Amino acid sequence: MSAYSVTEPSRASKSIAAVLVVVYAIITLLPLLWIISTGFKSGPDSISYPPRVLFEPSLEGYVNLFTTRTRIGAEQFAALPPPETWYDKIVRQSGTVIAGQSRFGERFMNSVIIGFGSTALSIFLGTLAAYAFSRFKVPLKDDLLFFILSTRMMPPIAVAIPIYLMYRELGLSDTHLGMILLYTAVNISLAVWLLKGFIDEIPREYEEAALIDGYTRFQAFRKVVLPQAATGIASTAIFCLIFAWNEYAFAVLLTSGNAQTAPPFIPTIIGVGGQDWPAVAAGATLFLLPVMIFTILLRKHLLRGITFGAVRK
Amino acid sequence: MAEVSLSHVSKGFGATQALLDVTLTIPDGAFVVLLGPTGAGKTTTLRLIAGLERPDGGDIVIDGESVVNDTPAQRDVAMVFQQYSLYPHLSVRDNLAFPLRSPVINMPEPEITRRVQAVAEALRIGHKLDNKATALSGGEMQRVSIGRALVRQPRIYLMDEPLSSLDAKLRADLRVELKRIHAELGATFLYVTHDQIEAMTMATHVGVLDQGRLVQFGTPRQIYEDPVSSYVASRLGQPRITLLPAGSFGHGAPAGAVQMGLRPEHILIGEGQPATVRRVERLGDQTRLHLAFGPHEIVTLADPHTLLGTGDTIAICPQNPLWFDAGGNRI
């Protein structure tokens, strides 16, 4: 008979936990799987009832996402030379021809520039500010920290109109720089607070040792504090990116022709030539990827945080 | 290597006065041990010399020049902390090389490799050089942090209870090792400890701190045999000095004496007044007797092979005890 253990869960409770985790994963991942599969359906398959789980995959959604198409007269259509490329062929199947490139690629790039740009800026400023708040005697420290946090207390959209007017005056409307600054302003409170927590956890003795070992304060920060704050920086960066990446309201309000990001663009696909659900799903799928990849790349740092710390207590 | 002196140095943290008007000279090549209970100002003294704190008043001079306005890097001192000593994201090798790669020293890599190897071997951590700092035992970590101080040749080594976390054998080994390094390099050390053996065996000078004041500075023998106060007398000695009212053994107290201090060597067994043995502690090389003497308890030493047991009565009398006045000062 095996001994009863207080620290080691029993076999039965482990199996129950495993089942629960798997069920939960399926429930949360199902909508995601549905979107990804819809992206590979043909138009009729995507709206058929009952819904089709098994279907013949098609790249129609992706082709439609990246192109604009036009319907031409029957005799004109018959007179066309045979399709030159695979995507020409897909478009012809629905009786249309490619009229040009859609703006999805451009919008997607805008999202990348603005999302990653504001994340980088938030992390850069946030780390420096958090270090200063954590280590130095800053006058009115508590009030300043509260002020920084208070910017998060109302929904950002509450200040949409003042920001809209201000941006118009400053010429920041519909610019990449404007959106980067705006998302940074929203994210910086989160970044400062999260990172201050992480930096507070790093004992000062490490930096003091580095100062005595012949390094300047900034070098000690770079060589000793930053590597140890990597976990905090990685998780903060993920939070910042997710916000900037998904933000919709400001993007609708402040961007149009030039700096529009993907979130306000994707819904407009619906209007182009009927309800093109596969194209919408394809756009949503591609839109998911960067945050997913970013999180997976930083996962190493997130996990490493657990095994950290040469601390004798 | 250099002479370090503090003159009239004071330092407060909010309402607490950590150091008060401390004047102290650490001669070139000396091994100075600071003694005192927690909160006496020992660590603050080290941090002031290292440049991690700024004094509120007074001057700190290294090698004839005031350093109070210098950064820690400019002072060229090395410090071993009591804990949190290693950079956890670096290997043992990189931890040891860290000071040598600093912009101040910026030593060529081949020379760094050579020095790191030599120090690692002296501290018997050569086989651990490629380990992560986090993958070491407590004793190994502390040896690495001592090594990080030793790879340099700073003007002074500051050590804050570096051996307190180690087991007895390692502590004894490293004590000898540090003493050897001191003798070979002729380096100047300022060393904080609670451990009497470390103080007595390593120090050339001992400074005793009491609530931020330096109350006595002298050789270990002076501190032990000729303490200025009952406070200083209690810092050294195992078993600790026994303090009794001056008249406990009747006559003999000088004028003004309120207390008498009895170290084991001040107690003569076999004649005098009766005391009852309460407990016998056999430590191997020595045997301690806990005696009930009237309402007082006295701890003294007996012959290691004594046949005395609990309940026995013996006669004791004082021999050249230390006398203290009402303020605890030596008479």
- Can you state the percent helix, strand and coil of chain A, rounding each to 5? 70, 5, 25
Mean pLDDT of A264-273: 78
CATH superfamily of B257-324: Nucleic acid-binding proteins (2.40.50.140)
Give A 292-311 residues with CB within 8 A of chain B. 307-311
In a domain, residue A313? The reply is no
Q: Does B138 touch chain A (CB under 8 A)?
A: yes
Same domain, A265 and A251: yes
Residue type, A221: F
In CATH, which of 3.20.20.100, 3.40.50.300, 3.40.50.620, 3.30.470.10 is domain B4-234? 3.40.50.300
Does residue A30 lie within any of the structural domains?
A: yes
Q: Is the distance from CB of A287 to CB of A108 less than 8 angstroms?
A: yes
CB A258 within 8 A of CB A175: yes
Strand pairing class (B31-35; B16-26): unpaired
Per-residue pLDDT band at B97 (split at 50, 70, 90) = very high
Kindly state whether residue A89 falls inside one of the protein's structural domains.
yes
Residues A160 and A296 grouped into a single domain: yes
Phi, psi of B84 (to 5 degrees): 50, 45
Residue with tokens 């936990």: A17
At residue A310 the predicted structure's pLDDT band, cuts being 50, 70 and 90, is very low
User: Are A174 and A242 in a shared domain?
Assistant: yes
Q: What is the Cα–Cα distance from B94 to A224, expressed in whole angstroms? A: 12
CA B7 to chain centre: 21
Using a CB–CB cutoff of 8 Å, tell me whether A209 touches chain B: yes
Band (pLDDT 50/70/90 cuts) for residue B171 is: confident
Domain boundary among A86, A102, A118: A102
Report d(CA B97, CA B113) in Å as an integer: 8
Q: Under an 8 A CB cutoff, do B103 and A214 touch?
A: yes
Q: What pLDDT is stored for residue A183 in this prediction?
A: 94
pLDDT in tens, A43-84: 888 888 888 888 889 898 999 889 888 888 888 888 888 888
CB A119 within 8 A of CB A237: yes
Number of H helices, E strands in chain A: 16, 2
In this structure, the answer to whether residues A167 and A51 fall within a common structural domain is no
Cβ neighbours of residue A48 under 8 Å, at least 6 residues apart? none
Instruction: Quote the pLDDT of residue A308.
Output: 46
Q: Calculate ∠ Cα A164-A181-A233, nearest 5°.
A: 140
Chain A CB contacts of B81 under 8 Å are 205, 208-209
Distance from CA of A302 to the nearest CA of B (A): 15
Task: Find out whether B301 and B237 touch, Cβ atoms under 8 Å.
Answer: no
Q: Is pLDDT above 70 for A311?
A: no
**The pLDDT of residue B204:** 93
Domain boundary among A50, A73, A102: A102
d(CA A83, CA A72): 15
Whether A97 and A110 map to the same domain: the answer is: no
% of chain A exceeding 70 in pLDDT: 94
B86/A310 CB distance under 8 A: yes
3-state SS assignment for residue A14? helix
When divided into structural domains, chain A yields a total of 2
Structure-token pair, residue B22: 């401390």
Residue A140 lies in a domain: yes
Residue A284's nearest CA partner among A265, A260, A271 is A265
pLDDT at A305 > cutoff 80: no
Contact call for B87 and A224, based on CB within 8 A: yes
Domain ranges (residues) in chain B: 4-234, 257-324
DSSP three-state, residue B41? coil
Q: Are B273 and B317 within 8 A, CB to CB?
A: yes
Cα torsion for B141, B146, B147, B148, to the nearest 10°? 90
Tokens of A15: 């199996």
**CB of A206 within 8 Å of any CB in chain B?**
yes
Q: Does B72 contact A216 at a Cβ distance shorter than 8 Å?
A: no
A227 touches chain B (CB under 8 A): yes
| pLDDT tens-place string over residues A23-46 | 999 999 999 999 999 999 988 888
Q: What CATH number does the domain containing A155 carry? A: 1.10.3720.10
Same structural domain for residues A94 and A121?
no
A140: left (phi over 0), alpha (psi -120 to 50) or beta: left
CA distance B103 to chain A (A): 7
CA distance B68 to B54: 7
Last residue of a domain, one of A102, A126, A145: A102
The reply to whether A224 touches chain B by the CB within 8 Å rule is: yes
Question: A114 near A179, Cβ under 8 Å?
Answer: yes
pLDDT at B84: 65
What mean pLDDT, rounded, does chain B reach?
88
State how far the Cα of B152 lies from the Cα of B28, in Å rounded to an integer.
Answer: 17
pLDDT tens-place string over residues B266-296:
888 888 888 999 999 988 888 899 998 888 8
User: Are residues B260 and B323 in contact, defined by beta-carbon separation less than 8 angstroms?
Assistant: yes
pLDDT single digits (tens) A105-164: 999 999 999 999 999 999 999 999 999 999 998 999 999 999 998 888 888 778 889 999
By C-alpha distance, which of A205, A259, A251, A257 is closest to A228? A205
Higher per-residue pLDDT: A176 or A267: A176
Report if residue A312 sits inside a domain.
no
**pLDDT exceeds 60 at position A306:** no
Are A62 and A113 in a shared domain? Answer: no
User: Given CB atoms, is B52 within the 8 Å cutoff of chain A?
Assistant: yes
Give the best residue of B82, B89, B105, B165 to mutate against chain A (max A CB count within 10 A): B89
What pLDDT sits at residue A55? 87
Return the residue in A213, A217, A301, A304 with the most chain B beta carbons within 10 A, the one to mutate for interface testing.
A213
Interface A-B, measured as beta-carbon pairs within 8 A, has a size of 84
Cβ contact A214–B105 (<8 Å): yes
Residue B215 CB contacts under 8 Å (≥ 6 apart), including other chains:
B208, B209, B228, B229, B231, B232
Is A75 among the domain residues?
yes
B134 or B93: which carries more pLDDT confidence? Answer: B93
Contacts of B32 by beta carbon, 8 Å cutoff, 6+ apart? B26, B189, B190, B191, B203, B204, B205, B206, B207
Q: Is residue A287 part of a domain?
A: yes
- Would an 8 Å CB–CB cutoff place B72 in contact with chain A? yes
Considering chain A, what percentage of its residues have pLDDT values greater than 90?
52
**Do residue A271 and residue A210 come from a single domain?**
yes
Supply the range of the domain harboring residue A39: 1-102
pTM of the model: 0.80
Query: Considering only CB atoms, which chain A residues are within 8 Å of B98?
Result: 210, 213
Per-residue confidence (pLDDT) for residue A303, from 0 to 100 = 64
Report chain A residues whose CB lies below 8 A from the CB of B77.
212
pLDDT of residue A112: 95
Pairing state between β B65-66 and B57-62? antiparallel
- Tokens standing for residue B173: 């080994």
What is the spatial order of strands in the sheet that B57-62 belongs to?
A: B16-26, B4-13, B57-62, B65-66
| Residues B45-85 pLDDT 10s | 999 999 999 999 999 999 989 999 999 999 999 999 887 67
In a domain, A157, yes or no: yes
Identify the pLDDT of residue B153: 85
Q: How far apart are CA B264 and CA B302, in angstroms?
A: 9
What value, to the nearest 5°, has the Cα angle with vertex A142 and ends A138 and A147? 105
Contact between B79 and A309 using a beta-carbon 8 Å cutoff:
no
Cis peptide bond upstream of B239, omega within 30: yes
Q: How confident is the model at residue A304 (pLDDT cuts 50, 70, 90)?
A: low
Provide, rounded to the nearest whole percent, the portion of chain B with pLDDT above 90. 38
What's the one-letter identity of residue B287? Answer: T
Q: What is the ipTM of this complex?
A: 0.82
Report whether pLDDT(A285) > 70. Answer: yes
Residue B328, sorted as left (phi over 0), alpha (psi -120 to 50) or beta, turns out to be: left
**How large is the average pLDDT for residues A250-274?**
84
**Are A93 and A255 in contact, with CB atoms under 8 Å apart?**
no
pLDDT at A35: 92
Q: What is the DSSP letter of B261?
A: E
* Mean pLDDT of the residues in chain A: 88
What mean pLDDT is predicted for residues B240-246?
88
What does each C-alpha distance from B299 to B25, B200, B232, B330 come to in angstroms?
Answer: 36, 21, 18, 21
Same domain, yes or no: A244 and A299 = yes
Write out the E strands in A153-305: none
CA B33 – CA B200 distance, rounded (Å): 9
In B126-259, which ranges are continuous DSSP H helix?
138-150, 168-185, 196-202, 220-225, 230-235
Q: Nearest-CA distance from B132 to chain A in Å?
A: 9
Q: Are residues A88 and A168 in the same domain?
A: no
Same domain, A207 and A112: yes
Please name the residues in contact with A264: beta carbons below 8 A apart, sequence gap of 6 or more.
Answer: A248, A251, A252, A255
Taking only the tens place, the pLDDT of each residue in A9-24 is 888 889 999 999 999 9
Please tell me the distance from the alpha carbon of residue B117 to that of residue B114, in angstroms, as a whole number: 5
Q: How is residue B251 annotated by DSSP? A: S
